[in-house]
Structure 1
Amino acid sequence: MRTRPVIGLTLDAEEPGGYSKLPWYALRQNYFSAVAEAGGLPIALPHDPERAAEYLHLIDGLLVTGGAFDVDPALYGDASQHETVSLKPGRTEFELAITRAALKADKAVLGICGGEQLLAVAFGGTLIQHIPDAVPNALPHEQPNPRTEPGHAVAITPGTRLAAIVGEGPMHVNSAHHQAVATPGPGAVVNAVAPDGVIEGLEHPGHRFALGVQWHPEYKVDRQDLTILRAFVEAARG
């Protein structure tokens, strides 16, 4: 009998070179170890959109991870593309397919960093393509200090699911993104904001657990980061 909810984690994809002369998948170990510490049984999900429904049947919760790439602006209705935008179409196609299927099945979904942005797109929202060009006096959201340290604070929106999980005081988080959510999508709400006004989290109250954060709680920089992962795993338990 299974005692831990199975959490599927999306992988990053790399072109030949470095680890292998063939295309390869990758994901930091701390994603898996943090999910395990939070009470889940983590498994990796390769990029196969046609089998998204089969993968979804195997898991209790979906964690959409981050990565050094962007969602295609065409997917949220933007005909332009900023020069800094970098795409991984195969990964995005799979992540959108399994995220939409998970939301339809009302399974728990957590989006981290780029995964939060993809979740916004799945909700019907839009993205800022490059923060320095769109937000006056923006903070350095690609922080110069190590990711194991906080880059800035975020204010938690009172009355949200995130506030119920971590409390309403500020969190001190790491920051590794040049894009951000512009609009969260119909029915979705913003649950965290940086001091410069950049959206740092969102959620959709119409689902069992559909929540995204722009930072990386798997690093456990803030004392409440693991609390977010535990709440997600508990929601996946059903």
Structure 2
Amino acid sequence: MTARPLIGLTLDAEEPGGYSKLPWYALRRNYFGAVAAAGGLPVALPHDPALADAYLDRLDGLLVTGGAFDVDPALYGGGDRHETVVLKEGRTAFEIEILRGALRRDMPVLGICGGEQLLAVALGGTLIQHIPDAVPDALAHEQPNPRTEPGHEVALTPGTLLSRIVGAPSMAVNSAHHQAVDRPGEGAIVNARAPDGVVEGLEHPGYRFCLGVQWHPEYRVDARDGAILDAFVEAARVAARHAA
């Protein structure tokens, strides 16, 4: 049996209340389940930037997850912070450190939703701080229907890694974001857009596997979502084999 590559997943952080009277970490179970179903061995990564290299010494792939917060515009020269922007500074400090470390090592990376936005920033790109204020006639990117259902479709850019993985010109996706990638960064390319032109995915062909999607493929609202996780885990498996 082929060994499962070790996939690190970044956690969300919550203040006291609800689950615990003390600060706590959280992540939806379907993130872990999707990685395991794709053949990976998922592990959670607590937020300690000083441990980023030690984690990376052991990991074969990095998945940067989403969450109900935003990347600080100070990290990408975005100017004044929009009134809707919510920060989790400790989480972002860890995620940007481990993400940049993974890129330096050419480790396979997958960014989902906010993770895709952070990937753009790590690659030198910028973000739109609030879609309704920046995109005329924008779709409801914070969809009113459940996240287990599609919110809109995206068109995939022909010839991109994402297009080859999915094998179709478009996908139905769920949508839970008020920010989006503006510029994807030096050398990075846009691989998916919504009908209103909003960037829905990016990748960098200069890396072994460097992919970000604005939606949540772990929900599998489209039959092709599983292919994204499969391709990421397979890239991590190949990377681990070459490192052995």
| TM-score bin, normalised by smaller chain | over 0.9
The residue that corresponds to 1:162 in the other structure is 162
The residue that corresponds to 2:15 in the other structure is 15
Deviation at 1:117, TM superposition (A): 0.1
The residue that corresponds to 2:226 in the other structure is 226
User: Do residues 173 (structure 1) and 173 (structure 2) align?
Assistant: yes
Q: SS state of the match for residue 63, structure 1?
A: strand
Give the AA of the match of 2:77: G
CA contact (8 A) 1:129 1:178 kept: yes
The residue that corresponds to 1:43 in the other structure is 43
Q: SS state of the match for residue 121, structure 2?
A: helix
The residue that corresponds to 1:32 in the other structure is 32
**Number of residues paired by the alignment?**
238
1:76-112 C-alpha deviation (Å, 9 max, x unpaired): 0122110000000000000000000000001000000
The residue that corresponds to 1:139 in the other structure is 139
CA distance in 2, matches of 1:57, 1:152: 39
Deviation at 1:188, TM superposition (A): 0.2
CA distance in 2, matches of 1:45, 1:16: 19
After the TM superposition, which parts of structure 1 deviate over 3 Å for at least 4 consecutive aligned residues? none
Q: Percent identity?
A: 76
Q: Normalization by structure 2: what TM-score?
A: 0.96
The residue that corresponds to 1:210 in the other structure is 210
CA contact (8 A) 1:158 1:168 kept: no
Deviation at 1:168, TM superposition (A): 3.6
The residue that corresponds to 2:186 in the other structure is 186
User: Do residues 113 (structure 1) and 110 (structure 2) align?
Assistant: no
- Which runs of 5 or more residues in structure 1 are unaligned? none
CA distance in 2, matches of 1:129, 1:79: 10
Give the AA of the match of 1:84: T
CA distance in 2, matches of 1:120, 1:168: 24
Provide the aligned C-alpha RMSD in A.
Answer: 0.9
Give the AA of the match of 1:12: D
CA contact (8 A) 1:157 1:168 kept: no
CA distance in 2, matches of 1:153, 1:215: 10
CA distance in 1, matches of 2:159, 2:177: 26
Deviation at 1:58, TM superposition (A): 1.4
1:186-212 C-alpha deviation (Å, 9 max, x unpaired): 000000000000000000001000100
